[in-house]
Amino acid sequence: MIRHNSQPHFPTQNYLNRELGLLAFNRRVLAQAEDERVPLLERLRFLCIVSSNLDEFFEIRMAGLKEQVRAKARIITTDGKTAQEAYRLVSAEAHAIVTEQYKHLNDIILPALAEEGIRFLRRSKWNEAQREWIRQYFIREMVPVLTPIGLDPSHPFPKVLNKSLNFAIELEGKDAFGRSSNAAIVQAPRVLPRVIQLPEELAGCAYGFVFLSSILHEFVGELFTGMTVLGCYQFRATRNSDLFVDEEEVTNLRTKLQGELPHRHFGDAVRLEIAENCSPAMTDFLLTQFGLAHSDLYRVEGPVNLVRLMQVPDWVDRPDMKFSPFVPGLPKAVGKGANIFDSIRRNDILLHHPYQSFAPVIEFLNQAANDPQVVAIKMTVYRTGTDSVLMQSLIRAAQSGKEVTVVVELMARFDEEANISWATKLEEVGAHVVYGVVGYKTHAKALLIVRREDSGLVRYAHLGTGNYHPRTARLYSDFGLMTCNEEITNDVSEVFKQLTGLGKARTLKHLWQAPFTLQPNVVAGIRAEADTARAGGKGRVVAKMNSLVEPEVINALYEASQAGVSIDLMIRGVCALRPGVPGLSDNIRVRSIIGRFLEHHRIFYFYAGGKENVYLSSADWMERNFFKRIELAFPILDPKLKKRVITEGLKFYLADNQQGWDMNGAGAYQRRRSARAKPHNAQGELMITLGGG
């Protein structure tokens, strides 16, 4: 494995903490839920997204911090903090976000929904008819699948699944066998919905909902006949979900991973969420059972899992309370009935998702699978979904006798099971399935098609900044390039040769590839701008990505700023660089765009003396992307398409004063607003410019 030590050479106070940066991003998402300009049901959805993001944060980032604290690790982070110091700061901020989140839910969102006839009915307000309907639901739908577990010497505390909904019951009295137990656990099966909709005539409003937790609280006594229920408290444990598989020590990665996946549900607990009304005695009991401290406790006023409310906006037919429907545009070159290969031969094709449809990518692979002139298809798969039409096309291509090679990344976090399933199905029809290179995740997004034409074998490629996932392509901003440029397709072919075979890496003509040339070329591009600025010329760097944390790149940006290079960075999530610090980063501006769609494309722009070099990439500027993954950055060579990327991917976003947040040197963000300037909303303007109407 290639080793690289990327160390900061500026004082540690010039770098920001990664975990705190992630939480700062979630504060910006929470601000969307608090923004009255956002439709009400979408505000509820943003509130749920914060919970979903925090779940993964605890499962991965907080779990890693806690492991370092437990091991008394002496590791000092880039920003100069010990694990213990970082944990205290991160824990305090996470608690503050959760408190604000639930306060906004209870004080603003739920009352506003109620005014619109969308009510979550509290059990204290149920009338007799509602109570009887809900009781019958409990008996009919819930009792048959609930398994109450009394805690006594023969029934120890049960194994609690990661992020599952559970109820701790305090009891008094004796059961049918004369046993005395003062506690029981009821686990809510995942087959049960967490929100139940009442008939409109019974609810007394257009949309009346009841939480599963409310139903169990009301009727839990029926599960413990003859005993007295003193208290019923919902709780939820979040566990370490980072899989540990030593890839260099296993002979069959897929088999080993299949064995490890079940353990993800029972990793070490890292967070305990409990209801506000949970008694001190039960709270201490649960913390002890999960081996957690009070700093790991999150006491909430409401459902312990807001993610389950994500479906509510879909159930409510109120278009006036949601984002307006959007139909992606379809470029003429790849319109209905177009032969994609003919179109690509005429000109490179650039697709800007979600403003332009992902359908041409699906059709590209579909036509390749059906075309008798296509002899081979090669593709990387990182995330693609459980019902992928792209994978079905690959299966059909293999069944028809084409050479199909798929590089499946088994270690794509939280998509491991889906990828294992597709790998198995592809192998069954004779496709060549490989799992990349041991020790490196294959994160590049590449599709290569080899077609026999009059001139001989011709290669066609699709390269993208996002996953081959039709659903996320409707929600994430990404670019995709279709080309038959011989030099680029030769590079792509060489990359696939590396991934499936053995041998030394050859020099690629156009593509920058991690872990070999991507980081050095990014640094070289920044330093070239600095050299130009020192010589009195114009130095300019603009970059857009999800995260910026790699110290050597940050150092190069600091040095370029000091040389006079004008630098604009659009970082959606974590940025460890401090912008606007006198004498260090005066010429660097950092902003974050948070809106209807998830900003996901990575764009690297270097002025290069007026040549304007533009690269699109699958990689963020992070150590893991540069040195622990197979990643690609590809140039936009066609002048018209380059202009499009600069305009649509950079200029629109730099002008945004509606959804943009400016970051200061302390790592704090302030929403960009200008009363005098013309309003600019990048996502809204791109929907108008590129959408299908």
Annotated active-site positions, please? 443
Six token digits for residue 692? 């299908």
Q: How many Cβ atoms sit within 10 Å of the Cβ of residue 234? A: 26
Of 331, 328, 336, 358, the C-alpha closest to 347 is 331
Q: Is 476 annotated as a binding residue?
A: yes
Is 572 annotated in a binding site? The answer is yes
413 carries a ligand binding annotation: yes
| Secondary structure (DSSP) of 283-318 | HHHHHHHHT--GGGEEEESS-S-GGGGGGHHHHS--
Q: What is the DSSP letter of 151?
A: -
Name residues whose C-beta falls within 8 Å of residue 36's C-beta, 6 or more positions apart in sequence: none
Give the distance, in angstroms, between the CA of residue 203 and the centroid of all CA atoms in the same chain. 36
**Could you tell me which of 237, 232, 230, 228 has the C-alpha nearest to residue 212?**
232
Amino acid sitting at position 249: E
Question: Do residues 520 and 594 touch, judged by C-beta distance below 8 A?
Answer: no
Kind plus residue range of the DSSP H or E element containing 131: helix 128-137
Question: 58 is written with which tokens?
Answer: 């605890």
Alpha-carbon Rg for the chain, nearest whole angstrom, is 27
| Structural contact between residues 348 and 641, judged by C-beta atoms closer than 8 angstroms | yes
Minimal CA–CA distance to 686: which of 568, 602, 618, 596? 596
* 540 annotated among ligand-binding-site residues: no
- Write the CA distances from 277 to 111, 130, 497, 617, integer angstroms: 21, 24, 60, 49
Residue 88 labelled as part of a binding site: no
Q: Would you say 469 is a known binding-site residue?
A: no
Q: Among candidates 596, 590, 505, which has minimal Cα distance to 549?
A: 590
Q: Which residues are annotated as a binding site?
A: 53, 383, 413, 476, 572, 600
Q: Which residues are annotated as a binding site for Mg(2+)?
A: 383, 413
